[in-house]
Amino acid sequence: MADAAITVEDARKTYGGSGGKHGKPALDGLDLTVARGTVHGVLGPNGAGKTTLVRILATLLRPDAGRVEVAGHDVVREGYAVRLRIGLLGQHAALDEELGGRQNLELFGRLHHLGARRARARADELLERFGLSGTGHKAVKQYSGGMRRRLDLAASLITDPEVLFLDEPTTGLDPRGRAEVWDSVRSLVGGGTTVLLTTQYLEEADQLADRISVVDGGRVVADGTADELKAAIGGDRIDVVLRDAGQLGAAVALLPVPRDAVTVDTDRRLLSAPVTDRMAALAGVVRALEESGVDAEDIALRRPTLDEVFLRLTGTGDRPKEAA
Amino acid sequence: MTTPTYVLTDSWTMTRRELARWGRQPVTVVVSLVFPVMLLLMFGYLVGGGRGVSGEYLDFLVPGMLALTMAFGLEGTMVAVTQDLNKGVIDRFRSMPMTSGAVLVGRSAADMLQSALGLAVLLAVAAALGWRAQGGPAGFLGAVGLLLLFRFAMLWIGIHLALVAGKPELVQAVQILVWPVGFLSNAFAAPESMPDWLGTVVQWNPMSQTATAVRDLFGSPGGEPGHVWAAVVWPLALLAVFLPLAVRRFARLGR
């Protein structure tokens, strides 16, 4: 793709060298294409290879094999050109904890060769933009988790990078800190920056990403927009909540799908099943419940949640056939 | 790939980063400067005994303490590099278009500066106690040069150990081990006064070479004429081994 900001073809990495003592590869033939100016979510459980991918993209780690390009430059052969064009927000705050917030930003600005005056001006600008102006003199170790993350994000934006990597940007933050970081990321989009975001939180990918790649075992197992992914695992679902949990067994037989396709949640007295024809299924279920005298409290049609997509794609159960 | 001018700019920026950290932690800096002074006074009074902190034993002790201070610098370097490695900030440096060697050059420059300061403080205290260098200005400068050369070798051993070990637990082990290595030298007592086997170990300690040469250049007891070459060759040999190892290790962090 000509207008791709990130291209990864068949990337492989095993720690301790290929065929190394640690055995299992962290990346096992991963493919990924991210269009310029979009936010791409990389979703996967712990150990799926998300951080390895980001470290390779940010030139911190060399892939064993495969082609990896960022902003049109090869990460192995043209590392310097890549580093000129990227920003990185790693999993752990990449800041000097002893120094103040402003001192950190000035340091990174100088290392980006902005020169003393521009580095100082840029630091002030970013502190202002991320709501840290009042605390720029404080040592970073006295910052709250959310403030630290915002400063870290500010540090990765010193030169308005073409491509920004966010590796689990909200892991370990409280809900308020998470909301702060989400707002900051949203405000970046539209500025033309390409963002690659890894996360374990489905909601985060759903909220922030234009497209999502689901990663498991070092490879992409599914790829698409949030809606496409939801549609790919069977489209809409019907939920039926009963008044009496004792009737759950009888109600399962009334749904227009095979028994093993129905999920039963006894605590919530809830049945859930995939449906193809929404209106016909709804009418049919309502009629069948009435005729058999099963008392329903609520019936609803809905799209599947990303949680269901995620479990389905990465769980031990059925893998999708179109797995790439 | 990088423009050469950035090597200097980036190294200077990284050095300034360390200086800014001093400004943030003045107490740590003061403690690190006062600690060798404490040792000097302690050994002067305890070991010097009746001789006190004056006269011949002080003349013998001062060069030893100067060398010991340089040797202990290894530990400070290792702690600082290990902290950087474990804090994630090194990842940011490595993902930026800076000269990657500047991380190590900045570290060296700041540590050498701190050690030079440490030498100055220790020499000032010794002078206040009545100690005087007898070797003239050239001898004095030569001695300071040898001490800093020794420190430079210790610095690169520290960087290498930090890059190899990388874990705070191992830093603790090294912090403990520098004591016997530092004390198994001629800093406090002449090897002739020791059992044969111990004297041999002590004489071969690179730190002893530096201390002996410095005593010679200061005109202190325990100095041996013509020992300067050993105090030059030993640190250079250590540097020849550890500097390339450390640089290579650092460049290969991403493998």
Q: What is the pLDDT of residue B1?
A: 47
The Cα B55–Cα B249 span in angstroms is 47
Which residue in B13, B24, B89 is closest to A94 by CB distance?
B89
Reduced to 3 states (helix: H, G, I; strand: E, B; else coil), residue B235 is helix
Q: Which of A9-18, A139-148, B2-11 has the lowest mean pLDDT?
A: B2-11
Q: What is the pLDDT of residue B49?
A: 64
Provide the sign of the torsion angle of the four alpha carbons B114, B117, B119, B125, taken in this order.
Answer: negative
User: What beta strand segments (E) does chain A contain?
Assistant: 4-13, 27-35, 39-43, 65-70, 73-74, 86-89, 163-167, 194-199, 211-216, 219-224, 237-242, 263-265, 270-274, 296-302
On chain A, the residues whose CB falls within 8 A of the CB of B95 are: 58-60, 83, 86, 88
The Cα B8–Cα B179 span in angstroms is 36
pLDDT at A25 exceeding the cut of 50: yes
On chain B, the residues whose CB falls within 8 A of the CB of A86 are: 95
B21 contact A CB<8A = yes
Nearest to A140 by CA among B24, B83, B166: B24
pLDDT in tens, B42-101: 888 777 665 555 678 888 899 999 999 999 999 999 998 998 888 888 899 999 998 888
Nearest to B171 by CA among B107, B86, B90: B86
Q: What is the pLDDT of residue A21?
A: 55
Rounded to 10 degrees, the C-alpha dihedral B149/B153/B159/B160 comes to: 160
The Cα A273–Cα A264 span in angstroms is 9
On chain A, the residues whose CB falls within 8 A of the CB of B10 are: 111
pLDDT at A17 exceeding the cut of 70: no
Domains of chain A: 4-230 (3.40.50.300), 234-313 (3.30.70.100)
The Cα B255–Cα B251 span in angstroms is 9
pLDDT tier for residue A278 given thresholds of 50, 70 and 90? confident
More confident residue, B152 or A301: B152
Best interface-test mutation with B: which of A96, A137, A143 has the largest number of B CBs within 10 A? A96
Q: What is the pLDDT of residue A123?
A: 96
B4-33: average pLDDT = 91
Considering chain B, what is the average pLDDT of its residues?
Answer: 88
Nearest to B80 by CA among B145, B118, B25, B8: B25
Q: Which tokens in the block code for residue A227? A: 């809606």
Which residue in B20, B95, B254 is closest to A86 by CB distance?
B95
pLDDT in tens, A38-64: 999 999 888 889 999 999 999 999 999
Reduced to 3 states (helix: H, G, I; strand: E, B; else coil), residue A88 is strand
* Burial class of residue A324 in the structure, from the number of CB atoms within 10 Å of its CB (0-12 exposed, 13-18 middle, 19+ buried): middle
pLDDT at B166 exceeding the cut of 80: no
Q: Which of A57-61, A64-68, A279-283 has the lowest mean pLDDT?
A: A279-283
At a CB cut-off of 8 Å and minimum separation 6, what does B66 contact? B119, B122, B123, B143, B147, B211, B214
Q: What is the pLDDT of residue B51?
A: 57
Which residue in A62, A80, A100 is closest to B254 by CB distance?
A62
Q: Which of A14-18, A95-99, A202-206 has the lowest mean pLDDT?
A: A14-18
Q: What is the pTM of this model?
A: 0.81
Contact B21 A139 (CB under 8 A): no
The Cα A65–Cα B247 span in angstroms is 25
Nearest to A40 by CA among A218, A212, A243, A262: A212
Contact B13 A111 (CB under 8 A): yes
Nearest to B64 by CA among B158, B205, B195, B160: B205
Share of chain B above pLDDT 90, in %: 53
The Cα A264–Cα A54 span in angstroms is 38
Q: Can you give B98-118 as a three-state secondary structure string?
A: CCCCHHHHHHHHHHHHHHHHH
Q: What is the pLDDT of residue A178?
A: 86
The Cα A177–Cα A149 span in angstroms is 8
Q: Which of A195-204, A306-315, B136-145 has the lowest mean pLDDT?
A: A306-315
B252 contact A CB<8A = no
A85-90: average pLDDT = 93
Q: Which tokens in the block code for residue A199? A: 């996360």
pLDDT at A155 exceeding the cut of 90: yes
pLDDT in tens, A232-268: 766 788 899 999 888 888 888 888 888 888 888 888 8
Nearest to B29 by CA among A200, A56, A275, A98: A98
On chain B, the residues whose CB falls within 8 A of the CB of A92 are: 87-88
pLDDT at B190 exceeding the cut of 50: yes
pLDDT at A318 exceeding the cut of 50: no
Reduced to 3 states (helix: H, G, I; strand: E, B; else coil), residue B188 is coil
B254 contact A CB<8A = yes
Q: List the 31-70 stretch of B: residues with Cβ below 8 A of A.
A: none
Which residue in A58, A96, A107 is closest to B13 by CB distance?
A107
Q: What is the pLDDT of residue A47?
A: 85
CA distances from B99 to A79, B11, B104, B238 (A): 12, 8, 10, 25
Q: What is the pLDDT of residue A322?
A: 34
Contact A107 B17 (CB under 8 A): yes
B91 contact A CB<8A = yes
| Residue A317: φ, ψ to 5° | -70, -140
Contact A98 B98 (CB under 8 A): no
pLDDT tier for residue A306 given thresholds of 50, 70 and 90? low
Contact B94 A60 (CB under 8 A): yes
Q: Residue A152 in contact with residue A87, Cβ under 8 Å?
A: no
Taken as a whole, chain B contains a residue count of: 255
The Cα B79–Cα B25 span in angstroms is 15
A18-26: average pLDDT = 67
pLDDT at A146 exceeding the cut of 70: yes
A2-23: average pLDDT = 79
Contact B94 A59 (CB under 8 A): yes
Rounded to 10 degrees, the C-alpha dihedral B11/B14/B15/B20 comes to: 160
Rounded to 10 degrees, the C-alpha dihedral A292/A296/A299/A305 comes to: -110
pLDDT in tens, A202-233: 778 888 999 999 998 899 988 999 888 777 76
Between CA A271 and CA A277, with CA A276 as vertex, the angle to 5 degrees is 105
pLDDT in tens, B112-127: 999 999 999 999 999 9
Q: Which tokens in the block code for residue B119? A: 């030498």
Which amino acid, one-letter code, is at A99? L
Phi-psi region of A164 (alpha: psi -120 to 50; beta: other; left: phi over 0): beta
pLDDT at B3 exceeding the cut of 80: no
The Cα A134–Cα A128 span in angstroms is 9
Chain A residues touching chain B at CB-CB below 8 Å: 55, 58-62, 79-80, 83-84, 86, 88, 90-100, 103, 107-108, 110-113, 139, 155-156
Q: What is the pLDDT of residue A250?
A: 86
B130-158: average pLDDT = 93
* Burial class of residue B39 in the structure, from the number of CB atoms within 10 Å of its CB (0-12 exposed, 13-18 middle, 19+ buried): buried
Q: Residue A263 in contact with residue A298, Cβ under 8 Å?
A: no
